Chain A
Amino acid sequence: MAMNKGKVLIVLLVVVLFAFSGCTGGGNKQATVQKSSPFAGGSQGLAVSFVPGSPTDTVVAGENFGVSVQLENKGETRIEGTGKIKITGINPASFSNPNLEQGYIPELGPVQKIGSKAVPGESATVDFNGLKYSGLVTTGQFDFNIIADVCYKYATNAFATTCVTENLLKQTVGANACKTSGAKTVVNSGGPIHVSSVEQIPSGPNRLGFKLTIKNVGGGKTVGFSCDNLVPANADKVMISSVSLGDTLFDCGAGADGAKEVKLINGEATVFCKADVPAGTFEDLTNINLLYYYDQKAAKKLTVQALG
């Protein structure tokens, strides 16, 4: 009898718990615009690291060793195989002139958001073999910084909430009225360059403007529009491929090819884009696409020890 009472109490407790969890979600009306992000997000593109033990922390002068670089796609753009990976920081002539450059990156699938879960992106290892310190070290040990330097093509896709009304210059009031000017919510796909803020600035009854802030949030830097023949003038540049609200394309001061180059100063740039929007009262998402080549490095201390 006592046991039956206990079981009933447990069942009742569970039912009450479920009931309360149902209550907490109530009272909020579904927003017209889906506010949850379609992206897994994140501030990395390609994660670069040395495979543990390759190389070891210490190598002996005159003995062969290899370097293995681990690449993992931690962002949401597929890496198509363009790019470059090289080992720098050491004088190739002192390490027996091995081949320290590979002119492509393996294809690596991106992170994928499935439901509320993020499925990790693909990984690969790139090996560099045949290194051997051939310098004059006959006594003691000396430290070098060995660098894995990776350049790759990447993209960022961002969505910003946008408010359109019959007259953008007049702010409507009401419980469901959206704001025609001011800061907007923005979500970014996983990558090292983000649209960090979007400010809606109307400039006419039907003329909509945005002030976009683009920011380098990864640990590397943009290198222009190619991984070959790096041109200092193109360093820190990002391409704005398009800014669109439905079928409406925004003008950000694009060049002949329709894309706009921006140069990041201290990791940031501000761009103004504008367009005439169709009449109406609605909220929607403005889509911003960025394209860039990104350079990422990993460093490791390498000690070369003389063989006595």
Chain B
Amino acid sequence: MKKITFAQADSRSLRPAERIFAWALLFAALIAISGCAGQQQLQAEGFAGGTEGLQMEFLNNTPPDKVFKDVPFEIALFLENAGEKSLQPGEVELNFGNAKNFGISQAQTVKHIPEASEGSLDGKYRVGNQLVGGGKTITYYDAKYTGILPPTEKAPVSFSIQACYPYETQGISKLCLAKGTDVCNPLAPREIKSSGAPVQFTEFNELATVSGDEITVRFDFKLENTGGGQAYSTMCEGRGKMGVGEVVVHSLKFGTEDMLPACKTVNKLGAGDNWPIKFDKDGVGKGTCTFSKKITGGDYQDLVFVDVVYSYDQKIDKEISVIPVQL
């Protein structure tokens, strides 16, 4: 077969078969190149962000605004993971409030979703400049209002569905270990990036003092409950009066160094203790840590990674009117 090089090829002189071969080669090359480009996805944009965990809403007309007493109707609850932590099958506990009056079966009063067959409710994430939405699911309830009729149709009855699920917020900021300000400024305002979750890192501050080659760094971070629900430092099953309005610092690293033990000591906690951060009445919590390091090799800055974990409890309410069935 006659060899063709693109340098030598004169399109006017290519025979039809040769032209087809050349185009096929070009097409194959383009596919190969696009394949190579897809092998290394660089997460340039970081966290997907967001201030919620699970979003819940009732599907249109399920339930309807008006139902007949003792007549079955369906309730469809749509859930979407609007944060960045994936929820594994069974991790979300749903509690139907006022279940008895709505004829909700025992099996449906407390549910754990997503179903194993559905897989996890993945958190949302970024790929390049694209945002990939979180996992979604719908759960159904077979309902029938069997309670006492309200005095009039205009006096609604209500039910609620309470969701509790484990969640996590990651925060990333920087610490500056420096005697001077050539590399970084220990006192400069600091940004903290927060993963999408109903609890957000909102502030990060550093204060550093130098004595010879040793630098003592004090840093603090603020958290805010932004999801509209309640955070617990206990698991969903154990939540109650204990652990309400708290999250737990699960991990704290400066570069690759685990700082959690040192921070626990600073906060007068034992190695095996949890480090809880409690929210005040304004929904703001604060954590503080201090450590010292020798900087003999020169000033530097590095990333600090903070992870907090918690159970998150939130509720969705619905009011419907009940119409008596005319016999």
Residues of A participating in the B interface, judged by any CB pair closer than 8 Å: 60, 86, 88-94, 100-101, 134-142, 144-145, 147, 149, 297, 299, 305-308
A137 and B297 contacting across the interface, CB-CB below 8 Å: no
A-B contact pairs, 22 of them (CB 8 A): A60-B42, A86-B298, A88-B297, A89-B184, A90-B300, A91-B177, A91-B301, A94-B303, A135-B256, A135-B303, A137-B172, A139-B43, A140-B43, A140-B193, A142-B174, A144-B301, A144-B302, A145-B183, A145-B301, A147-B183, A307-B41, A307-B42
B299 and A92 contacting across the interface, CB-CB below 8 Å: no
Interface segment, one of B44-52, B88-96, B261-269: B44-52
Which 3 residue pairs across A and B have the least CB separation, nearest first? Answer: A140-B46, A88-B298, A94-B255
Interface status of B305 (Cβ within 8 A of chain A): yes
Query: How near does chain A come to B249, taking the closest CB pair, in angstroms?
Result: 15
Provide the bound-state CA to CA distance between A92 and B256, in Å. 10
CB neighbours of A100 from chain B (8 A): 297
Given contacts A89-B299, A136-B256, A142-B303, contact A308 B43 (CB under 8 A): yes
Provide the bound-state CA to CA distance between A100 and B184, in Å. 19
CB neighbours of B45 from chain A (8 A): 140
B184 and A92 contacting across the interface, CB-CB below 8 Å: no
Interface status of B250 (Cβ within 8 A of chain A): no
Query: How near does chain B come to A15, taking the closest CB pair, in angstroms?
Result: 58
Given contacts A145-B184, A297-B182, contact A91 B300 (CB under 8 A): yes
A63 (CB) vs chain B CBs: closest residue: B40
Interface status of B126 (Cβ within 8 A of chain A): yes
Q: What 0/1 pattern do residues 189 to 201 of B give for CB contact below 8 A with A? A: 0000100000000
Provide the bound-state CA to CA distance between A93 and B40, in Å. 25
Q: What 0/1 pattern do residues 36 to 80 of B give for CB contact below 8 A with A? A: 000011111111000000000000000000000000000000000
B128 (CB) vs chain A CBs: closest residue: A308
A94 and B256 contacting across the interface, CB-CB below 8 Å: yes
B183 and A137 contacting across the interface, CB-CB below 8 Å: no
A89 and B44 contacting across the interface, CB-CB below 8 Å: no
CB neighbours of B127 from chain A (8 A): 308
Q: What 0/1 pattern do residues 160 to 175 of B give for CB contact below 8 A with A? A: 0000000000001010
Given contacts A93-B256, A93-B257, A94-B255, contact A305 B302 (CB under 8 A): no
Given contacts A89-B183, A142-B172, contact A308 B301 (CB under 8 A): no
CB neighbours of B172 from chain A (8 A): 137, 140, 142
Interface status of B154 (Cβ within 8 A of chain A): no
B300 and A89 contacting across the interface, CB-CB below 8 Å: yes
Residues of B participating in the A interface, judged by any CB pair closer than 8 Å: 40-47, 125-127, 172, 174, 177, 182-184, 193, 253, 255-257, 297-303, 305
CB neighbours of A306 from chain B (8 A): 42-43
CB neighbours of A134 from chain B (8 A): 256
A139 and B41 contacting across the interface, CB-CB below 8 Å: no
A139 and B126 contacting across the interface, CB-CB below 8 Å: yes
Query: How near does chain B come to A133, taking the closest CB pair, in angstroms?
Result: 10
A90 and B256 contacting across the interface, CB-CB below 8 Å: no
CB neighbours of A308 from chain B (8 A): 41-43, 127
CB neighbours of A88 from chain B (8 A): 183, 297-300
A136 and B42 contacting across the interface, CB-CB below 8 Å: no
A92 and B305 contacting across the interface, CB-CB below 8 Å: no
B47 and A139 contacting across the interface, CB-CB below 8 Å: yes
A93 and B43 contacting across the interface, CB-CB below 8 Å: no
A90 (CB) vs chain B CBs: closest residue: B300
Provide the bound-state CA to CA distance between A88 and B183, in Å. 8
CB neighbours of A93 from chain B (8 A): 255-257
CB neighbours of A149 from chain B (8 A): 298
A147 and B182 contacting across the interface, CB-CB below 8 Å: yes
CB neighbours of B47 from chain A (8 A): 139-140
CB neighbours of A137 from chain B (8 A): 172, 303
Provide the bound-state CA to CA distance between A90 and B301, in Å. 6
Given contacts A139-B46, A308-B127, contact A89 B301 (CB under 8 A): yes
Interface centre among B40, B174, B182 (most CB of A within 10 A): B182
Given contacts A88-B297, A308-B127, contact A94 B44 (CB under 8 A): no
Provide the bound-state CA to CA distance between A134 and B301, in Å. 15
Provide the bound-state CA to CA distance between A306 and B40, in Å. 10
A88 (CB) vs chain B CBs: closest residue: B298
A140 and B302 contacting across the interface, CB-CB below 8 Å: no
Provide the bound-state CA to CA distance between A306 and B46, in Å. 8
Provide the bound-state CA to CA distance between A52 and B274, in Å. 48
B293 (CB) vs chain A CBs: closest residue: A91
Provide the bound-state CA to CA distance between A149 and B301, in Å. 16
B45 (CB) vs chain A CBs: closest residue: A140
Provide the bound-state CA to CA distance between A134 and B44, in Å. 17
Query: How near does chain B come to A308, taking the closest CB pair, in angstroms?
Result: 4
B42 (CB) vs chain A CBs: closest residue: A305
CB neighbours of A101 from chain B (8 A): 297
CB neighbours of B40 from chain A (8 A): 60, 307
